[in-house]
């Protein structure tokens, strides 16, 4: 059944903006410790000296700071395991609200660490906040995709990444010494995410639950119709979309276990695609540029923190470009352009770094390459990696697919945040060649395997994966195309 064109309504816009307040918080705490790293490290030293009457050894401080940065991603990896349970048990919207309480608790712990003179409290706060991150970054796109009309689904899902990138930029600004990244104000800086967290509690409860969840998971046809009417404001569109949902429901089993998810024949190809996109995205080098951009620049630029702000600004700009292009260019084209551009940037960064000692004037090119890599990532791999799983799976498999997405994303972030500093010391700029290999591999496999999902209903996409094993999807006319 061909999807009907649907337009933006006030309820739909409010629901999406309320949901992405979660990713704004995630982005904020991804970057706010970047510019203020030296100030917070000094707090670690002072606390250690007060306890042991000596400064913390340099290697211990480096290890402890790496743990502080990466513990958030470890917490997110752990909580990813709860995405399916929450989404199926409490619904998409209510699960977002449940997860949000972890943001409040984690933020309160982080902001009280200075008063309690305990860096352990800060680390614990980032761990608890990480539990929120793992849930929010999967539940948000899941909710957004299920409340959005087909013709706007990808663009609205990209708003989750726009909000995330905006949070990163706000965190970078807040962490500057001229703003809140000072010895006296850094604890206040860590508490600012309470504003969007509390706003979400004020707005999201008044937004409708996912109509797909109500109809397919809970068999509440009347409530699904009422929710959909609030989102679409057109009886004709509601009837057409309800028929499409019922058609999907007829092809969907009621529940699925983790073992069944990985064994189910029609899920094998989508699982492989999700693995490639998410691993390629995380191993492309983007996250180390965000987490360690100030340290990457400071060895060669006095304006390192200003350049880091440039990274944040470019990040936001190109997530917005991806939002504008998502329903025009399609997911597949943006992914391919993104990954090949990332691979090229990493190769050029490796070559440039080896000659910078001889020609320092070329250092401006290093900045341009970092900006280019950020742009390429946010044009496709960044936003699409978070929501593509929701498009490739049916209603039963979708929460488990988002769990897998979250584990891959946060697992990759955690490993990179932990191992990048020592890898950079050992291999220098040649570490970027590892990122190049990952991006090229992702490009090749996406070219071969990924179907286009733009403008297709969930059931239409799932139908392509049903049937006998061995169907070569990328040769099916009209599916995996650039048109």
Residue 2 DSSP class: P
Task: Flag the least confident range among 243-252, 322-331, 439-448.
Answer: 243-252
Residue range 195-223, pLDDT digits in tens: 999 999 999 999 999 999 999 989 999 99
pTM: 0.87
State residue 293's pLDDT score. Answer: 55
d(CA 171, CA 129): 15
**Helix locations, 304-380, DSSP H:** 304-329, 331-355, 363-379
Higher pLDDT residue, 444 or 50? 444
State residue 483's pLDDT score. Answer: 36
State residue 480's pLDDT score. Answer: 42
Residue range 150-173, pLDDT digits in tens: 888 999 999 999 999 999 999 988
Residue range 11-28: mean pLDDT, rounded: 95
Residue range 218-266, pLDDT digits in tens: 999 999 999 999 999 888 888 888 988 888 888 777 778 888 899 888 8
Dihedral sign of CA atoms 473, 465, 268, 74 in order: positive
Nearest to 409 by CA among 397, 417, 398: 417
Please compute Rg for the chain using Cα positions: 22
d(CA 128, CA 37): 20
State residue 210's pLDDT score. Answer: 95
- Say what percent of the chain tops pLDDT 90: 47
Task: Flag the least confident range among 117-121, 144-148, 181-185.
Answer: 181-185
Q: Within its chain, how far is the Cα of 341 from the centroid?
A: 20
By the 8 A CB rule, do 333 and 453 touch?
no
Higher pLDDT residue, 369 or 27? 27
d(CA 331, CA 454): 7
Say if residue 344's pLDDT is above 80.
Answer: yes
Residue range 72-87: mean pLDDT, rounded: 91
Residue 257 DSSP class: -
Say if residue 411's pLDDT is above 80.
Answer: yes
Residue 451 DSSP class: P
């Amino acid at each position: 059944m061909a999807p009907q064109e649907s337009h933006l309504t006030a309820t739909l816009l409010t629901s999406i903006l309320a949901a992405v307040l979660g990713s704004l918080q995630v982005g904020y705490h991804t970057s706010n410790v970047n510019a203020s790293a030296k100030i917070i490290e000094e707090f670690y030293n002072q606390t250690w000296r007060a306890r042991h009457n000596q400064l913390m050894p340099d290697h211990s401080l480096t290890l402890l700071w790496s743990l502080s940065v990466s513990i958030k991603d470890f917490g997110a990896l752990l909580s990813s395991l709860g995405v399916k349970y929450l989404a199926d048990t409490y619904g998409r919207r209510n699960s977002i609200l449940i997860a949000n309480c972890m943001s409040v608790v984690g933020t309160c712990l982080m902001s009280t660490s200075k008063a309690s003179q305990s860096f352990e409290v800060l680390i614990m706060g980032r761990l608890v906040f990480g539990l929120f991150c793992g849930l929010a970054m999967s539940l948000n796109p899941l909710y957004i995709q299920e409340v959005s009309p087909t013709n706007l689904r990808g663009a609205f899902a990209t708003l989750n990444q726009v909000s995330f990138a905006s949070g990163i930029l706000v965190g970078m600004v807040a962490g500057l010494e001229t703003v809140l990244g000072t010895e006296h104000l850094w604890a206040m800086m860590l508490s600012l995410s309470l504003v969007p967290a509390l706003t979400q509690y004020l707005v999201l409860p008044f937004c409708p639950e996912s109509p797909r969840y109500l109809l397919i998971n809970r068999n509440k046809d009347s409530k699904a119709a009422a929710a959909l009417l609030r989102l679409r404001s057109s009886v004709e569109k509601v009837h057409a979309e309800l028929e499409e949902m019922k058609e999907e429901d007829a092809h969907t089993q009621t529940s699925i276990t983790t073992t069944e998810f990985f064994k189910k024949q029609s899920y094998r190809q989508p699982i492989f695609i999700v693995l490639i996109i998410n691993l390629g995205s995380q191993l492309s080098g983007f996250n180390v540029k965000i987490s360690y951009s100030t340290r990457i620049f400071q060895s060669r630029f006095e304006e390192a923190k200003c350049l880091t702000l440039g990274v944040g600004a470019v990040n936001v700009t190109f997530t917005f470009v991806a939002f504008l292009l998502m329903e025009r260019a399609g997911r597949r084209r943006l992914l391919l352009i993104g990954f090949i551009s990332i691979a090229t940037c990493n190769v050029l960064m490796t070559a440039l770094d080896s000659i910078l000692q001889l020609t320092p004037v070329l250092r401006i090119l290093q900045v341009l390459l970092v900006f280019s890599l950020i742009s390429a990532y946010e044009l496709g791999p960044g936003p699409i990696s978070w929501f593509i799983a929701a498009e490739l799976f049916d209603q039963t498999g979708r929460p488990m697919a988002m769990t897998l997405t979250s584990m891959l994303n946060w697992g990759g972030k955690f490993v990179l945040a932990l191992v990048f500093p020592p890898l950079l010391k050992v291999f220098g700029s040649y570490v970027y060649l590892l990122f190049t290999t990952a991006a090229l591999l992702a490009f090749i496999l996406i070219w071969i395997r990924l179907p286009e999902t733009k403008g297709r209903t969930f059931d239409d996409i799932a139908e392509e994966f049903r049937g006998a094993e061995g169907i070569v999807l990328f040769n099916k006319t009209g599916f995996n195309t650039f048109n």
